[in-house]
Amino acid sequence: MSKIKDIQFSMKTYEYEKPFHITGSIASYATNIEVKVMLENGVEGYGEASPSFRVNGEKPEMIMALESFAKEMLTGIDVAEYRKIFQVTDKLLATPSLKAATQYAVLDALSQEAGLEVYQLLGGATKQIETDKTVGIDTLENRVADAKKIFEAGFKTIKIKVGEDLKEDIQAMYEIYKVSKGAKYIVDANMGYTPKQAVEFANQVYQAGIDIAVFEQPVYMSDIDGLRFVRFNVPFPVAADESAKTKFDVLRLIKEEAVDYVNIKLMKSGVSDAISIVELVKSANMKLMIGCMGESSVGINQSVHFAFGTGAFDFCDLDSHLMLKEERFRGKFIQDGSKMIARK
Ligand code: MN
């Protein structure tokens, strides 16, 4: 096996096919940082950081400023000793997306050394997953048209963003249901509701005969009591996303019985905490989904391999690369409609 010789960062901006509107944020572009890890024997491993200011307080410039520090931190460590690299990069608390990209780039390099795919290094549990696709906040007509298009394209699970206007959101659920009967719904409020509004929303939807597979992050990230209140007062499973960044967050959510699901994102947790969170959540007999920020196919590849390797997820919400304009697909997996399939 081989030691790390150099690390290089490069900033890349991707335009969304359509401005992506969620509670409190409209994005036209995603600015990501590619991390290239170079080994002494010439092997190169790739990762991608997709920093989220809204969730993690990160900006791309913060990541770029750490390039020489990352090089200093990791040069000379053998990629086969990747737990050592996890320990060192676990200290990147202010830049979790960089932690993810660096850790993954190391695994990507090691996988080439070992003649395996990253998902095999991570456990090789499954070779196929299926992603949902997301309907952003928009006019009622556009939300319905987008949902119809997604459903007709063969996506079995539709993710619906809500949280800015309770009445419009309920109306959107009624109308989307009419054009996508048989679909599963993940509804994500991105912290937009009060606990009472979240209960009101869920009850109205339930009374219309609509099932929600996962009701994601209804209330503010620090409102753990609010999450628990929603969990025990709505007929649907409730998930933590913004409330669940590190393994320590998830330990608390479990102790407080606040949720049914945890949405793991490598950009919040890195690979190292994501591994811990899988084990914590399974130990508590709760469920997992995996999501993304604004990753291109390079960054989505990381979560796809994590999902293949662990086989831990009831739902995969890995669609950012399907929403961004990219010159060419760079994932080390096969995208076939909603399906993602291992190359070998
Ligand atoms: Mn979410």
CATH code of 111's domain: 3.30.390.10
Domain boundary (86, 116, 146) is at 116
Candidates 17, 27, 263, 327; CA nearest to 149 is 17
Dihedral pair phi/psi, residue 148, rounded to 5° = -60, -45
d(CA 64, ligand 1 centre) in Å: 26
d(CA 240, ligand 1 centre) in Å: 8
**Residue 205, in any domain of the structure:** yes
- Dist. CA 183–CA 205, nearest whole Å: 15
d(CA 243, ligand 1 centre) in Å: 10
- Dist. CA 82–CA 121, nearest whole Å: 11
Tell me: do 247 and 284 sit in the same domain: yes
pTM over 0.95: yes
**Residue 325, in any domain of the structure:** yes
- Dist. CA 341–CA 156, nearest whole Å: 16
pLDDT at 4 over 90: yes
- What domain range is 64 assigned to? 4-116
d(CA 132, ligand 1 centre) in Å: 13
- Residue 22, beta-bridge partner list: 25
- Dist. CA 20–CA 6, nearest whole Å: 36
Residues 75/40, Cβ–Cβ less than 8 Å? no
Tell me: do 98 and 137 sit in the same domain: no
pLDDT at 232 over 90: yes
Q: Which two tokens stand for residue 192?
A: 């937009």
- Total domains in the fold of the chain: 2
pLDDT at 1 over 90: no
Q: Distance from CA of residue 49 to its chain's centroid?
A: 12
When pLDDT is cut at 50, 70 and 90, the band that residue 95 belongs to is very high
Tell me: do 198 and 109 sit in the same domain: no
Q: What is the mean pLDDT of residues 140-149?
A: 98
Tell me: do 147 and 71 sit in the same domain: no
Residues 6+ apart with CB under 8 A from 281: 250, 254, 262, 287, 288, 312
Residue % of the chain over a pLDDT of 70: 100
**Residue 191, in any domain of the structure:** yes
Tell me: do 98 and 142 sit in the same domain: no
d(CA 52, ligand 1 centre) in Å: 12
d(CA 173, ligand 1 centre) in Å: 17
Tell me: do 84 and 206 sit in the same domain: no
Positive or negative torsion for Cα 143, 149, 150, 152:
positive
Q: Distance from CA of residue 127 to its chain's centroid?
A: 19
Judged by DSSP in three states, 16 sits in strand
CA within 13 Å, CB half, 259? 30
**Residue 171, in any domain of the structure:** yes
Tell me: do 135 and 99 sit in the same domain: no
d(CA 47, ligand 1 centre) in Å: 22
**Residue 121, in any domain of the structure:** no
Tell me: do 182 and 303 sit in the same domain: yes
Tell me: do 135 and 278 sit in the same domain: yes
**Residue 122, in any domain of the structure:** no
Tell me: do 63 and 134 sit in the same domain: no
Domain boundary (116, 151, 181) is at 116
d(CA 152, ligand 1 centre) in Å: 23
d(CA 55, ligand 1 centre) in Å: 10
Tell me: do 191 and 325 sit in the same domain: yes
Q: What is the mean pLDDT of residues 285-307?
A: 98
- Tens digit of pLDDT for each residue in 44-83? 999 999 999 999 999 999 999 999 999 999 999 999 999 9
Domain boundary (83, 116, 149) is at 116
Q: What is the mean pLDDT of residues 277-302?
A: 98
Tell me: do 140 and 27 sit in the same domain: no
Burial of 257 by CB count in 10 Å (0-12 exposed, 13-18 middle, 19+ buried)?
A: middle
Q: What is the mean pLDDT of residues 155-160?
A: 98
CATH assignment of the domain containing 142: 3.20.20.120
**Residues carrying an active site annotation:** 161, 265
